[in-house]
Amino acid sequence: MKVTVFGAGYVGLVQSAVLAEIGCQVVCVENNLNKVLKLQKGIIHLYEPGLVQLIQKNLRKNKLTFTTNLKFGIKHGLIQCIAVGTPLKNNRIDISAVYNVVVKIAKNMENHKIILKKSTVPIGTSEKIFSLVKKILKNRNKNLTFDIVFNPEFLKEGTAISDCMHPERIIFGINNINSINILKKLYKPFCHKKNSMIFMDFRSAELTKYAANCMLATKISFMNEMANLAEIFGADIEKIRQGIGSDSRIGKSYIYPGCGYGGSCFPKDVRGLILKSKEFGYEPKLLHAVEEINIMQKNKLFKLIQFHFRNDLYKKTFALWGLSFKPNTNDIREASSCMLMESLWNCGAKVQAFDPKAMQEISLVYKNNNNLKLMHNKESTLEHADALIICTEWKQFYFPDFKIIKSKLKHPVIFDGRNLYNPKYLKNNGFLYYGIGRGESCSRLKVKS
């Protein structure tokens, strides 16, 4: 089957690579020429485990093509897959990139097309796109058939290839049954269990995407709220997590407390659904709480650092491990590390940071900041530092040599935003340890003081 994918961002690249892998002839259209030239050589701009290998493999097999030629892409695919960004701008979801692609498809198509949207869009967008395409074709005097499908992605950065190859469910928002057989044929290789394809109306599918991300964000914020209560009561949130996670009704995923969620989806989608709800006169109190708790949690490490150093951070130096918003990605969008560093800099502090994959991204954002030093490994960040901060739970941070940490730091103090370490062990080895909701953590002292 011939498929065209518009957008060589995170979703577009994963979609292109995976569809090529199952045998589709895929053309990926991207308007950034420099990016396309690199992609044609198998060089990608983001880190996702397994993605570059999949792209290079299918480039060699001539199953995958990257181009800036939009008309070629429109002519090529029966399936026109839109995977462009829909960022939050000025408190509104900006879907102009989606509309731009839709308009160009409608103005240039010469035969039947299935316009399949992967991009997250506000509720009601698919209906507007259907009417828009119909209007453009009428103005062109073209009696062409087409179908609009909303097919949201549910990828997790760091495991996107596996998520795409082995989805738990595949959602389709449609307004007629014309495209169902083709969609079933396209996605059959991904259906490893019965009834994994779910067809519904446009609006239900659009809200399903928002509801899924908001539910996951809610679990994280709920757990952070419990962690804050654990500090007050002198309980250990890690034991609580095990206790509630063993209940199948709750489950073990997304109940890890920490220094807040980030990335391109959760913050944007929670905020986006809040804004859309307000347009309809509804105030989503739970979503407001989810967002407010996350903002507070992103500021938590900074507050603990202020408390420990008695608000005197001027000329202090901090070792920071982890810059990406989560492990196994180089994505720093809405990362807790960025908010923390900016708060430290505002107080006159310096940061020596290391991340296994996100160094280039951070250097581009903060390239003129003299208060940031990017180090070549985690140990080098410790030199002359007043304390160690953990923001991202990369596996290489799990079992450090605490003797080296203690010998290099000016003060044996660790602020652990991901609860990687055992508070009791560190306390017994002469460290002051601040975790998130840990019973043996110094964080409790702040609440009691």
CATH number of the domain encompassing residue 123: 3.40.50.720
CA distance 28 to 40: 10
Domain containing residue 442: 235-448
End position of a domain, from candidates 173, 200, 227: 200
Q: Does 228 map to a domain?
A: no
203, pLDDT greater than 50: yes
| Residue 193 and residue 245 in one domain | no
User: Rounded to two decimals, what is the model's pTM?
Assistant: 0.94
Mean pLDDT of the chain: 97
Provide the annotated binding site: 35, 86, 120, 154-157, 209, 254-258, 262, 268, 326, 333
Average pLDDT over residues 116-121: 97
| Residue 196 and residue 239 in one domain | no
CA distance 406 to 148: 60
| Residue 38 and residue 133 in one domain | yes
Q: Does 225 map to a domain?
A: no
Task: Quote the longest CA-to-CA distance of the chain.
Answer: 79
Closest C-alpha to 437, from 233, 246, 296: 233
What pLDDT is recorded for position 449? 44
CA distance 325 to 339: 11
End position of a domain, from candidates 200, 223, 246: 200
| Residue 147 and residue 289 in one domain | no
Residues of the chain with pLDDT > 70, as a percent, come to 99
The label of the residue with tokens 């690249």 reads 13
| Residues 86, 95 contacting (CB under 8 angstroms) | yes
CA distance 353 to 321: 6
440, pLDDT greater than 90: no
CA distance 255 to 221: 9
445, pLDDT greater than 70: no
Q: Does 205 map to a domain?
A: no
448, pLDDT greater than 80: no
Quote the tokens at residue 250: 């709750």
| Residue 48 and residue 93 in one domain | yes
| Residue 191 and residue 58 in one domain | yes
Provide the annotated binding site for NAD(+): 35, 86, 120, 157, 268, 333
- How many domains does the structure of the chain reveal? 2
Q: What is the pLDDT of residues 368-393, one digit of tens each?
A: 899 999 999 999 999 999 999 999 99
| Residue 38 and residue 129 in one domain | yes
Provide the annotated binding site for substrate: 154-157, 209, 254-258, 262, 326
| Residue 426 and residue 298 in one domain | yes
Average pLDDT over residues 243-269: 97
What pLDDT is recorded for position 194? 84
Q: Does 79 map to a domain?
A: yes
| Residue 195 and residue 242 in one domain | no
Q: Does 131 map to a domain?
A: yes
Q: Does 167 map to a domain?
A: yes
252, pLDDT greater than 70: yes
124, pLDDT greater than 70: yes
φ/ψ (deg, to 5) at 323: -120, -30
| Residue 192 and residue 250 in one domain | no
| Residue 170 and residue 267 in one domain | no
125, pLDDT greater than 90: yes
Q: Does 277 map to a domain?
A: yes
CA distance 420 to 271: 29
End position of a domain, from candidates 147, 181, 200: 200
Residues taking part in catalysis: 265
| Residue 87 and residue 133 in one domain | yes
Residue 207 to residues 23, 60, 180, 366, Cα–Cα distance (Å)? 31, 39, 20, 36
Residues of the chain with pLDDT > 90, as a percent, come to 95
Average pLDDT over residues 142-160: 97
Average pLDDT over residues 177-194: 94
247, pLDDT greater than 50: yes
Q: Does 361 map to a domain?
A: yes
